[in-house]
Amino acid sequence: MGLRAGLLVWRGAVQAARRCTRLFAPPATCVSARPRHLHACAASPFSSLGHGGPHDVGGLPELLKSEIFKEEPATAFWERQAHSLLGVLSAKGLITVDELRRVVESLHPDQYARLSYYEKWLSAMATMLHEQNILTTQELEAALGPRQAPEAPAFSVGDPVRVHAEELITRWRKPHLRTPGYLFGCVGEVVEYCGAFDDPEIHAFCREAPKMPVYKVRFHQHHVWRDYEGPASDTVEVQVFQSWLQGTSEADLAAAQHEAQSAAAAAGASNGTDSHVNHSHSHGHDRSRDHSHGHDEEHNHGTRAEIEAAAVDKEPQPCQGELFAQGLLQALYKKGIVTPAEVQEAVEQLDTMGYNMEGPRIVARSWVDNDFRDLLSKDAVAAAAQLGIQTSNPTSTTLLTAVINTEHVHNVVVCTLCSCYPVSILGLSPPWYKSRSYRARVVRTPRVVLKEFGFDVPNDVEVRVHDSTADHRYIVIPARPAGTEGWSEEELAPLVTRDSMIGVSPAISPLH
């Protein structure tokens, strides 16, 4: 299911949003409706972990052993466009960051886990714009491309077919599916054409739906269920809409039959029926991949034009996020909601954030000016303004708070619910800061996480974790390195790293 199929999932967003208060209001006996003092966790001290949804990862046990990947690939242009678009729409009063969070948090758990950070943003922005009738379904379809219903049946009785695997990563709202998940990737045989019916994926959202051919497809039980206990001849027949089917080879169908026979024989449950198909090679097929039994590509002896065309086909293609970003932007441009110039200006501003030494300048000044340091600890916004630094984030109004490391306290910052971060001071946050692993672990096992970053905090120093869950954005003021006595602000600033202002490392020491 590609990007076009993904367009279906946000249909009906307005109706769903209007129903959410009624559907999710807690009953009188629900735990969440009780007074706070009755929330006793007698059964487990961790019973409320993850209570808020898939985004609420702080302290989750299943993530405490997960690795924090510290690689930092460059942020793609489409990702910076997505970030900038939120700022432009927010400045126009069309959407808010809290609305964005609400929609992101309502994603299907599989989507939330698999969509990239900015794909979640794009999903949420499309849904919000549709909810508020800023962009209609037709306008989004015109930009992203509606799924085209086939004009005529594509398969006949006896044809081998494979069921598509549903890829939630291409969806930005939970879809209505009428194809059971246990069939994803399975190979079967068309045994009957059932006629054409309203496409349920569209019809479920109260739209006039195109007609879609439906087929009865027969699958061998042992091919579908690896632990099936009946004979190899047992089958299951399922009605499947044509959009979920793709043609495959007789060899693939024979492989599925052979797999069923082998599994039945291994289980000692074969009924003795000899339906073996002569098929000499290995059948270690991966259901998740569509495949054929053609010649290896290395034996391609086509013309030069054919070889060059094949090479072009192998070049990296735009990812789903990039395609969606461009489609959403084009829909907004066409309607005049935003202009290309506005988005480009926002991208350019975003690209400069963190590169003008805003954070290091604040830290360096605090190291040499005690009065500034005192003001910084009380009112970081006013202190930064003395240096001509604007501290509020571009996507929403935020308040900067400085937390100062001392010989007795070391501070470290996280946002366990999303990724709140002082972009205007530090630039775009690193991927590891936004990762589920960092967000889950640093709030619960901060010393272990800091050691993984190469920073071993002595036990006689308090580690103070700051969970940035509201409109505060934190900057850690690291301790001034030894050996820098007499240094100027200009000399000190290069010692201040982004990671030291998050709190996962100290400032650079000139002695090492």
Instruction: Enumerate the active-site residues.
Output: 415, 418-420
Output the furthest CA–CA distance in the chain (Å, rounded).
91
List the beta strands (DSSP E) in 7-70: none
DSSP H or E segment with residue 240:
strand 235-241
What are the backbone dihedrals phi and psi of residue 32, each rounded to the nearest 5 degrees, phi first? -70, -15
Tell me how far apart the terminal alpha carbons of the chain are, to the nearest angstrom. Answer: 54
List the one residue out of 414, 408, 387, 415 whose CA is nearest residue 459.
Answer: 408
Is 438:68 a contact under the CB 8 Å cutoff?
Answer: yes
Cα–Cα distances (Å) from 259 to 202, 219, 246, 403, in that order, read: 36, 12, 20, 62
Residue 360, burial from CB neighbour count under 10 angstroms (0-12, 13-18, 19+)? buried
What angle do the packed helices 320-335 and 137-144 form, to 10 degrees?
Answer: 130
Contact 153, 213 (CB under 8 A): yes
Helix/strand/coil for 414: strand
By DSSP bridging, strand 187-198 and strand 211-220 are antiparallel
Are 383 and 478 a contacting pair, CB within 8 Å? no
Distance (Å, whole) CA 291 – CA 294? 9
Hunting for tokens 């997505």 — which residue is that?
Answer: 82
Tell me how crowded residue 2 is: count the other CB atoms within 10 A of its CB.
Answer: 13
SS3 label, residue 241: strand
Where are the strands (E) in 425-502, listed by range?
462-467, 472-477
Task: Show the tokens assigned to 25.
Answer: 């209001």
Sign of CA dihedral 65, 71, 72, 74: negative
Number of H helices, E strands in the chain: 22, 9
Three-state DSSP string of 164-178:
CCCCHHHCCCCCCCC
**CA dihedral angle for residue 485, residue 488, residue 494, residue 498, rounded to 10 degrees:** 80
